[in-house]
Chains A and B, each alone.
With several copies, the nearest count.
Chain A
Amino acid sequence: MSATPDVKPRLSREHSLSLLRQMLRIRRFEEKCAELYTQEKIRGFLHLYIGEEAIAAGVMAALSPEDAIIATYREHGHALASGISMNAVMAEMYGKQEGSSRGRGGSMHIFNAAARFFGGNAIVGGGLPPAVGLGLGYKMQGLPHLAVCFFGEGAVAEGEFHESLNLAALWKAPVLFVCENNLYAMGTALQISESETEIHQKASSYRIKSESVDGMDVVAVEAAARRAVAFVRQGQGPYFLECKTYRFRAHSMFDAQLYRKKEEVEAWKQRDPIKRFGDWLKVIGLAHDRDFQAMESEVAAEVTASVAFAEAGTWEPVSDLLRDVYTPKGSA
């Protein structure tokens, strides 16, 4: 592990295992989703987060329950780590009305009011302006919450990225920007999408404090996120965190991955955040094989239960088709 002791403060056994469990839940959940996709239980677009779990797990560990979250179409990990039950997420993947968005959203649009999860947003860059507004809104109400916005490095080329960072900085809005730089936007490599490939340096154009962190190292991510959250919560304005990561799987289920070499993928897999953290916990004696085995079977049970829950879920009646376009009168 590259992280120095000072960024891994007070790593209790309990907290370590909870980080590991969070990553494992995401991993096993998504492996199941891939399977269910081939069975046509899950349809539409499915974007897997496998390989990037350390980011959602690490950042969420640094947040308070009332902080707002906006993510992208690749948001199963964030949804699970934010506290939405696996049952609700899986049912949403199925499109059942027991799903977190009552089935209307599917994989790309997981929402949850209780977790302040303001959605998977499937327009690249589209979540950034609302995140600034969430932060601004909390600040104007004197609330201590912040807004966290996850997005890929591909979104950095969009105009909305630029507008949002400038607004957040001007307004000292409590926003944590988390760029998940996995080196590719679909098949477009970073050097084809950005003339300046050091993404975190772009923040300086807006006088936003930023740092870059190893996104394959959950402890480093959490430590950086804690620094960032503390900064933002003190009212010092937005913070930009670049997490260098890699997606192990295809962009979506329709991707022949012509744009990258198998060796590159394999090299990154050597840095698997789950394996790496687990190994390290063993090395320092914080956890043992039996802990991992127990965790695997707990997670497997949770995944199995979520599939059962989703299978048992119900289809919204067609007569409800026009629901939720407008708020019913008198209900708000």
Chain B
Amino acid sequence: MSERAPEQVATTYREAVRAGLREALQREPRAFLMGEDIGRYGGCYAVTKGMLDEFGPERIRDTPLSESGFVGAGIGAAMAGMRPIVEVMTCNFSLLCLDQILNNAATIRHMSGGQFSVPIVIRMATGAGRQLAAQHSHSLEGWYAHIPGIRVLAPATLEDGRGMLWTAMNDPDPVLIFENIMLYNMGGTIDAAAGAVDIDRAVVRRPGRDVSLLTYGGSLWKTLEAAATLKEQGIDAEVIDLRTLRPLDDATIMESVRKTRRAVIVDEGWRSGSISAEIATRIVEQAFWSLDAPITRVCTEEVPIPYPKHLEDAALPSREKIEAAVRKVVGR
């Protein structure tokens, strides 16, 4: 068998997500998109641009501003046999449909004794960094991970941006996908044939021996940058991309921590009650005796995100803060 390097194509995260959506609609006749301004406007972050022309208004369904209404309608359509992919423009608006997500999507399978599954995919943009201020800069993916009955994905790479969608759509249960707004413009190359990806496992994005850096989504890249700098300073950090925030892949986390004996968690959620606390606690529960130092977190400061750039930056995790936290944990 002759081996050829897989063809690589240049793309962006935005285009990768779009490719995943297009593939879903092309391959699965029951799939359709619905959400605010996904059609005629082309998507708030231009993700769905061009798709209305390709698939028509039935399958690229512009909705009114009615988050609870159309997310709930997605739940119903899923139970009726469709495969709805619902876009909640950003997670900032998702509080308006949280009742439908928690009390219906996440719960119906259980309440019905397993008779009805809800195969809905809900996509939302998440994260800060564009000076959108207090009401438009939430990072809620970790918070959503508290809810039993749903899966929570945080694609950080081009491959995941594209490939998680198909896996999610074929999951019989509700899957929430959080796309960090700072990633949409990220460019790179991707295997032209890149397809569905596994959503069950975290991935080591950078192997290392001295400390485990656990992160996901938009923070992955800051963390990898920090790891590169730290390497120059002689600290060999392992970087783990959690990918799925519910359920967490404990095995991969513990394997890393047992090896490095130190952990720093980087998470764009507000510190208190963030998913970083859950990860830290699981490490304590499962790998306490392996730890050589307290676990440390780099999270968002407990303040609604301020508008000015210098204050927004100060509120968010940064490469510098990650480096400082790691140096403290490894004692150098």
Contacts and interface: CB of A to CB of B under 8 A. Distances in A.
Chains A and B share a contact (CB less than 8 Å): yes
A122 B306 CA distance: 14
Given A133-B75, A325-B302, A327-B117, A163 B41 contact: no
Interface in A159-174: 159-160, 163-164, 166-167, 170
A132 B112 CA distance: 19
Nearest to B63: A167
A104 B312 CA distance: 10
Nearest to A99: B113
Interface string B124-166: 0000001111111000000000001101000000000000000
Nearest to B148: A325
A186 B115 CA distance: 30
A251 B75 CA distance: 29
A136 interface: yes
A318 B109 contact: no
A322 B247 CA distance: 14
A133 B314 contact: no
Interface stretch (A8-16, A107-115, A224-232, A304-312): A107-115
B242 to A, nearest CB: 18
Contact of B79 (A96, A109, A133): A133
B72 A324 contact: no
Interface string A234-262: 00000000000000000100011011000
A155 B66 CA distance: 9
A235 to B, nearest CB: 14
Interface string B146-188: 0011010000000000000000000011000000000000000
A21 B101 CA distance: 39
B250 interface: no
Given A45-B136, A104-B110, A186-B36, A315 B308 contact: yes
A258 to B, nearest CB: 6
A75 to B, nearest CB: 12
A126 B104 contact: yes
Contacts of B310: 315, 318
Nearest to A255: B41
A322 B113 contact: no
A324 B114 contact: yes
Contacts of A105: 111-113, 133-134, 307
B113 A106 contact: no
A269 interface: no
Given A105-B134, A258-B41, A322-B302, A157 B113 contact: no
Interface in A103-148: 103-106, 108-109, 111-113, 118-119, 121-126, 128-138, 140-141, 147
Interface stretch (B9-17, B92-100, B217-225, B230-238): B92-100
A99 B306 CA distance: 13
B210 interface: no
A158 B183 CA distance: 29
Given A44-B307, A95-B307, A192-B64, A101 B112 contact: yes
Contacts of A322: 301-303
Interface string B254-294: 00000000000000000000000000000000000000000
Contact of B113 (A160, A166, A192, A324): A324
A129 B40 contact: no
A98 to B, nearest CB: 10
Nearest to A129: B72
B329 interface: no
Contacts of B44: 186
B73 A159 contact: no
A137 B133 contact: no
A95 B308 contact: yes
A48 to B, nearest CB: 17
Contacts of A167: 63-64, 66, 69-70, 73
15 contacts: A43-B307, A103-B113, A103-B307, A119-B111, A130-B100, A140-B82, A141-B30, A141-B80, A159-B66, A166-B66, A316-B311, A323-B114, A324-B113, A325-B302, A325-B304
Interface of B: 30, 32, 36-37, 39-42, 44, 58, 62-82, 84, 92-93, 96, 99-100, 103-104, 108-117, 119, 130-136, 148-149, 151, 172-173, 301-304, 306-311, 314-315
Q: Which 8 A-B pairs give the minimum distances between C-beta atoms?
A: A129-B72, A133-B76, A137-B80, A187-B41, A102-B113, A163-B69, A106-B307, A95-B308
Given A43-B131, A132-B73, A188-B63, 11 more contacts: A43-B307, A68-B80, A101-B115, A130-B79, A155-B65, A157-B64, A160-B69, A166-B69, A321-B301, A325-B110, A325-B149
